Structure 1
C-alpha cells in the first residue's frame, strides 16, 4: 500500500525516462579514457570539484560533457534537488518505516544560520544539543578521573560493545584520527562479533576494576551486542558483588530505547539517547560517537561534526554540476547502469583509513542493496555495486592484479592526503617519513594512471603477459590533510552520494529489511543447537544440509564434553 508521502516518488520509473534511453545510446559508444585525454589535454582541471580541504577529481571516469549533461538532466528528472530539501527538512524519506532520516541534524550547529536547511520540527536541534552536552559531561568526568570504578580506581580502559553502525563508524574514526587525541590516558577498545572472540581476548588482560563498557544499540535488542553485554556482566560480577554499583560504575548505554536500557540495568544518568530518525549506519555523529570523544576528546569530535556540516551545506546548496556527492553518485550510476560495471574498489592510500573500506561497505551496500522500489514494486535494473577495498599500498600486492589484467571491470575510488607528518617537523626522522609519504603519493597517482591508460601510460607492449588494457574508471578524492574536519566532510560526502543514488534509483536507502530474516531463523535454530530440543525432536522442516550440520556440531560438542568429564 502506497502512503501519501510516497506520491513524491511516483515519477516515471528510472529506466523508462528519456534520459535513461539517451544514456543507453551514449553507452554503446562509451568513450575511451586515453582518447578523452587526447581530445582535451586540460580535462583534469575541467572534471574536478572542490570544497575547502577536499577535491574530487573524476576526470578518469569514462564520460564526456554530453554524458555528464545527460546524467544531470536525469537527476533533475528524478527531482533530486527537491528530494535533497526533503532530506534536510525532515520529510518522511524512509517510506517503509514512515519516518524522516535526519542524521544531518546531528551535526547542525546550535545557532545555524538562516541559509541552512533545518528540520521543520523546532524541537529537534535543542534535543540534539542537550544529548551532545550530556555526552560532553560524561567524557569530561571519565577523562579527568572523576568517574571511578566500583573499587574507587580511575577508569583506564573503555570497551565499546556494538555491531554494524554502532561499531564500524566509531572504530573507523577513532583509528583514523588517533594522532589528534587530546588525551592518552584512556585506551578504547571495540568488541562486535557475536562469537565472543574479541571479548575473549580483551577480558584476558583487562582489569575489571578500571574498565568501563559502552553498550551501543539503537533498539537495545540487537542479539550480537546484548550477548556480549551479558558476558561482560557475568565477568564483572566476579569482582563486584553489588549489582547496582556495578551498573553505575561500569556501564553506559547508548540507544533510542531508554526503557530497554533501564530494564537491562543501566541507570538513567548513564544513558545517552538518539532517535528513530537516525539510521544505524548514519549514527556516528550522535551519542554512538561516544568512543570517538573518549578516545580523541570532545574538541576533536566537534571538529568532525563541523566538517560534516560543511559538506551538508555544500550538498544542499551547490549546483548539481559542481556538487561533490552528486557527481560521485552520477559517476556511480553511469558505471553500474550503463557501462555495466558492478564492482567498486575503495582504495585509501593512507594507513589511518584502514577501516574506511569496511565502513563504506555497510554504508553503501546496506543502504542501496535493494531490489524493490519505494512503492514496493520489483526493480528491473541494477542498483548498488559490490564494494570492497583495502589500504592502497597493501592492496597493490593483493588484488591489483585483477584490477589491471582481470576479466572483471571494476570502478575505483582513490583516497589520498596531500600533506602528512607536519607535526614532527624538526625531528631526526622527519625527512625519511616525508620521503615515504611522497613515495606513497607517487604509487597512488601511478596506479590510477595505469588503470586509466594501461600500457599507454608508458609505452605499448606486444607481450600478452605484460599487456595492460586500461580504460578502467576511477575517481580520486584528495584531502589537503586528513584531520577531523576533512574526515567529517569525506564521510558526509559518501552519505549524500548514497542518498542521491537512492533517489535516482527510486529506492529507500534508510531501511535494511534484508538483514532481519537471518536473525529470525537463527533464533529458531538456537534451541536445537543448544540442546534445549532433543535430537529426535529436532525440527524436521529444516533442509537436509542444516539438519546434517546441526547433528555434526552437536556430536562434536558432546564428544568434547564427554572427554572433559
Structure 2
C-alpha cells in the first residue's frame, strides 16, 4: 500500500481542509511548542515552531510515517539494501561516512596528501571539471570551508558554456594547475568536452604530458584508463551524483583544506546519521522537517520553499539543495509506477541574506504567495572584522522570521500612515507567514557535514512519506538524449519552434 492510500493520509486531508489556527495562537495553545518543534543536534538548532502546523497535525503526520513504514526504509538505506526500485540499486552514500566502513576512503585521502606534498608536481591551482552532483557538492564544500585553508585554489567549471572554463583558465597558472575530472559514467558530454579543452589549454601553454595532470573520479575507471588517465579514484555505482560529495568526488576539499577537514566532514555527517536512525519520530530533526514539507506541499498546496543562507560562506547552499530536493523528489509517479494524485517536492529557490532582503522579500512579506521560508545562519563569524557586521546579519535574519509571523495590523498601519487609509493599506502586512530557522553554532567541517546529512535524510524521509523513489532521475536522462540529437543536427521530427531555433542559431551542421 502506498502512503496516499492509508487511513493516515485520509485523516491529514481532512485536517488540511479544516480551518487552520494562526501560528501565534498555536504558541498559546501549545505551551511546549518551542521545545517540541526545535530539536538541537550536535551544535545545530532546528527551529520549526513558526511553521503553520499544529501539534495535532504533527501527530497525524507521525501516524503517516508509521503507516508508510519509514523506520523500515531507514534500515534498508543504512544497510545498503535496494531502495532505488527503478534501477534495482542500493544507495550507499551513508556508508561512506560510517567509521566502520571508511577504509575505502583511504585512496582519496592518500591522493590529497600526495598533491599537497607536491608529489604530482607543483600545484597552486585545481580546476575541478564536472556537472550536477559532480560539481555542486564539491563547489559548496570548498566555498564554505576553504577561506582559511592552505592548499591550492579551486576553480570549478561545470557549464558547457566555454565562458565558465575560460574564467577558470584566466584565474590559473597552467604550469601549476591540476585537473580533476568527475563523471560517474565517464561519458558525460559537458565534462568530457570541458576536459578536452582543458587539456588543449595545458598543451598550448607548453605543459609537458598534460594527461598526467589529470585525476579522474568515476564509477567507470576502465573508461578513464582507456582515455590515457593514470590517476584514477573510483567510487561505487550505488552512490548517486547528488549524494557523492562524501566519496572521492569531495577530493577538492581534501586537497584544499587537508585530509583532516574531509574526515571531520564525514564525522559530522555520521553524527547526524546516528540521530536520524535512532531518534523517535517527533524528536527527529530530519523527520520533523520532512513531515512538515509533505504537509505544506501535498496537503496545503504550497508549491515552493525559499531557502536563504544568512552567511556568505553558505551562499551556494540554495543551488545545492535545489538539485538534492527537486532531482530527488520531483516525481509524478509513485515507486510502483502509478500516477500520484497530489503535488510532490516543493520548488526550492532562494538566495543569500542580507542581499535577498533588497530583492525578493517584498513579495514574501506582502505578496499573494504564502509559501514557507527557511533561514540558515551561523552563530559565530569566521572574519575578524568589527563584530557589528555579524550582529546586524543575525538581527536581520531573525527579524525576517519575526516580521513574517507577526505582520502589521490594520490599526498599526493606520497609525504609521498618520490616518491616510490608502497609505495604511500599502503599509499593512497580513502576517502568519511561516518560516523555519536553522542555526549552527559555528561553521566547521563537522557542522557542515551534519547540516548536509540532515538535508539528505529529510529528502529521503519526504520521499518515503509520499511513496516516491528519490534515487532515480529519468527526466534528466531525457533531456540529455534530446540534446545529443540536436547537437548532431538531427532536427527532423521536432516541433516547428525547435527546428526554427536550430536554423536561426545555425546549429544544423555542428559536429560535437
The structural deviation recorded for 1:555 is: 8.8
Matches within 5 A, 1:362-381: 362-381=323-342
**1:147 is paired with a residue of what secondary structure?**
coil
The structural deviation recorded for 1:38 is: 3.4
Query: In 2, distance between residues paired with 1:313 and 1:74?
Result: 22
- Asked if structure 2 preserves the Cα contact closer than 8 Å seen for 1:449 and 1:457, the reply is no
Query: In 1, distance between residues paired with 2:444 and 2:373?
Result: 23
Equivalent residue in structure 1 for 2:197, among 231, 245, 266 = 231
Corresponding residue of 1:264: 227
- 1:314 and 2:275 matched: yes
Over aligned residues, Cα RMSD in angstroms? 2.0
- 1:550 and 2:502 matched: yes
**2:335 is paired with a residue of what secondary structure?**
coil
The structural deviation recorded for 1:37 is: 2.3
- 1:452 and 2:405 matched: yes
Mark the CA change 1:67 to 1:58 in structure 2 (over 3 Å): closer, same or farther: same
Matches within 5 A, 1:35-184: 35-40=25-30, 43-110=33-100, 125=101, 129-130=103-104, 132-148=105-121, 154-181=122-149, 183-184=150-151
Mark the CA change 1:204 to 1:66 in structure 2 (over 3 Å): closer, same or farther: closer
Corresponding residue of 1:14: 3
Mark the CA change 1:465 to 1:518 in structure 2 (over 3 Å): closer, same or farther: same
Equivalent residue in structure 1 for 2:479, among 518, 538, 541 = 518
- Asked if structure 2 preserves the Cα contact closer than 8 Å seen for 1:450 and 1:457, the reply is no
Query: In 2, distance between residues paired with 1:37 and 1:467?
Result: 23
Query: In 2, distance between residues paired with 1:540 and 1:43?
Result: 60
- Measured against aligned partners, the alpha-carbon deviations of 1:196-255 in whole angstroms (never above 9, x if no partner) come to 11112222453222111000011111101111001112222224586xx3322x100000
Corresponding residue of 2:417: none
- Asked if structure 2 preserves the Cα contact closer than 8 Å seen for 1:180 and 1:300, the reply is no
Corresponding residue of 1:3: none
The structural deviation recorded for 1:459 is: 4.3
Corresponding residue of 1:211: 177
Query: In 2, distance between residues paired with 1:145 and 1:101?
Result: 35
- Measured against aligned partners, the alpha-carbon deviations of 1:440-462 in whole angstroms (never above 9, x if no partner) come to 11111110011112116994656
- Measured against aligned partners, the alpha-carbon deviations of 1:504-547 in whole angstroms (never above 9, x if no partner) come to 1111000111111111111111232xxxxxxxxx7442221122
- 1:472 and 2:433 matched: yes
Matches within 5 A, 1:344-355: 344-355=305-316
Query: In 1, distance between residues paired with 2:368 and 2:143?
Result: 35
- Measured against aligned partners, the alpha-carbon deviations of 1:8-45 in whole angstroms (never above 9, x if no partner) come to xxx2x322321122112222222211221233455323
- Asked if structure 2 preserves the Cα contact closer than 8 Å seen for 1:33 and 1:453, the reply is no
Query: In 2, distance between residues paired with 1:143 and 1:213?
Result: 14
Mark the CA change 1:390 to 1:159 in structure 2 (over 3 Å): closer, same or farther: same
Equivalent residue in structure 2 for 1:492, among 453, 460, 468 = 453
- Asked if structure 1 preserves the Cα contact closer than 8 Å seen for 2:156 and 2:168, the reply is no
Mark the CA change 1:158 to 1:539 in structure 2 (over 3 Å): closer, same or farther: closer
Mark the CA change 1:330 to 1:155 in structure 2 (over 3 Å): closer, same or farther: same
Query: In 2, distance between residues paired with 1:457 and 1:48?
Result: 31
What is the total number of aligned residue pairs between the two structures? 501
**1:93 is paired with a residue of what secondary structure?**
strand
- Asked if structure 2 preserves the Cα contact closer than 8 Å seen for 1:343 and 1:409, the reply is no
Equivalent residue in structure 1 for 2:493, among 528, 536, 541 = 541
Query: In 2, distance between residues paired with 1:205 and 1:317?
Result: 46
Corresponding residue of 2:216: 253
Query: In 1, distance between residues paired with 2:498 and 2:379?
Result: 52
Mark the CA change 1:353 to 1:205 in structure 2 (over 3 Å): closer, same or farther: closer
Corresponding residue of 1:121: none
**1:511 is paired with a residue of what secondary structure?**
coil
- Asked if structure 1 preserves the Cα contact closer than 8 Å seen for 2:30 and 2:55, the reply is no
- Asked if structure 2 preserves the Cα contact closer than 8 Å seen for 1:252 and 1:271, the reply is yes
- Asked if structure 1 preserves the Cα contact closer than 8 Å seen for 2:502 and 2:508, the reply is no
The structural deviation recorded for 1:408 is: 1.5
Mark the CA change 1:103 to 1:540 in structure 2 (over 3 Å): closer, same or farther: closer
Corresponding residue of 1:534: none
- Asked if structure 1 preserves the Cα contact closer than 8 Å seen for 2:410 and 2:428, the reply is no
| 5+ residue gaps, structure 1 | 1-10, 111-124, 149-153, 529-537, 559-565
